Structure 1
Amino acid sequence: MSVVSGVHHVALIVSDYEASKRFYTEVMGFSVLAEHYREERDSWKLDVALSDGKQLEIFSFPNSPERPSYPEARGLRHLAFVTENIDASVHALEGHGVSVEAIRVDPYTGARFTFFNDPDGLPLELYELASL
């Protein structure tokens, strides 16, 4: 028996709260579940919902240190989102001025995928599942 039954949320710390809020709500299209300012920490916390019920928690903290992301730094490598139509998703992202890498094909699964970055340079992936 597994100790866990799934993923509930992923938490991100961002450098520019308003830019990240716009990116994840307007560009990515996630809906806001809750938004709170925590005065004692001088920190915003934004909970957004993905269409499958999973959540992202987006935090701002003053003077948070940068985390190395490239090349192949230890830690979270990237955050992957499922899409039913990668071509339409790429087109929508590029319509918001987001630079997206060329679409690749996973040699093991045959699935198409691509990468792009959030406003802090966090590597994000779009992964197309043909049988959604």
Structure 2
Amino acid sequence: MSVHKIEHIGIYVSALEDSIEFYIRVLNLKHLYTLGEVEDDVRLAFMGFQGQDSVEIELIWKKDAPDLASEGRVNHLAFTVSHIEQEYSRIAELGLSGRSAQIQSLSNGSRYFFFNGPDGERIEFFEPARLTP
């Protein structure tokens, strides 16, 4: 098998610059580069983690795509976190929509919660059992 890792996750967005700002501010991603000019029909922005280049998020903006769901949207993005209680409080303070009513637990001790990105994409913060203090 020659599949090695997740290369990137593509997410349709309605406002590219707003989404870039969101992923920088909320998830501390860095804006790597943007393909396409403002007047183009399609623009792509690539986001990555500070000091890590193993997985990127590709934000996809299309000029004539008013209904993002008609082309499909990622169900959710999961990010590994530590100190999940602090992250849950931080997301609550940001006033983001769709936040889970509480942190959920899996039978193996891993914990998680969800919230919404700027276009309703579901974002999961996941603390694996091995990171739980």
**TM-score category of the 2 structures, normalised to the smaller one:** 0.7 to 0.9
Q: State the AA in 1 paired with 2:94.
A: H
Distance in 2 (CA, whole Å) between partners of 1:12 and 1:75 is 6
Q: Could you list the runs of 5+ residues in structure 1 that have no partner in the other structure?
A: 69-73
Correspondence for 1:31: 30
Q: Could you list the runs of 5+ residues in structure 2 that have no partner in the other structure?
A: none
Query: Does structure 2 conserve the Cα–Cα contact (< 8 Å) formed by 1:43 and 1:59?
Result: yes
Structure 2 residue 17 is the aligned partner of structure 1 residue 18: yes
Residues 15-45 of structure 1 deviation map (CA, whole Å, 9 limit, x = unaligned): 1222211111111110111123346743332
Correspondence for 1:78: 76
Distance in 2 (CA, whole Å) between partners of 1:45 and 1:103 is 33
Distance in 1 (CA, whole Å) between partners of 2:90 and 2:69 is 28
Correspondence for 1:57: 58
Identity of aligned residues (%): 26
Query: Residues 26, 33 of structure 1: CA spacing in aligned structure 2 closer, same or farther, 3 A cutoff?
Result: same
Query: Does structure 1 conserve the Cα–Cα contact (< 8 Å) formed by 2:113 and 2:124?
Result: yes
Q: State the AA in 1 paired with 2:86.
A: A
SS in structure 1 at match of 2:119: coil
TM-score, normalization: structure 2? 0.80
Q: State the AA in 1 paired with 2:58.
A: E
- Aligned ranges for residues 1-132 of structure 1 at < 5 Å? 2-38=1-37, 41-51=40-50, 52-53=52-53, 54-64=55-65, 65-67=67-69, 76-99=74-97, 100-101=99-100, 102-107=102-107, 109-132=108-131
Q: Which has the higher helix share?
A: 2
Distance in 2 (CA, whole Å) between partners of 1:76 and 1:119 is 13
Query: Does structure 2 conserve the Cα–Cα contact (< 8 Å) formed by 1:8 and 1:55?
Result: yes
Query: Does structure 1 conserve the Cα–Cα contact (< 8 Å) formed by 2:109 and 2:129?
Result: no
Distance in 2 (CA, whole Å) between partners of 1:32 and 1:10 is 14
Distance in 2 (CA, whole Å) between partners of 1:130 and 1:85 is 11
Distance in 2 (CA, whole Å) between partners of 1:55 and 1:89 is 21
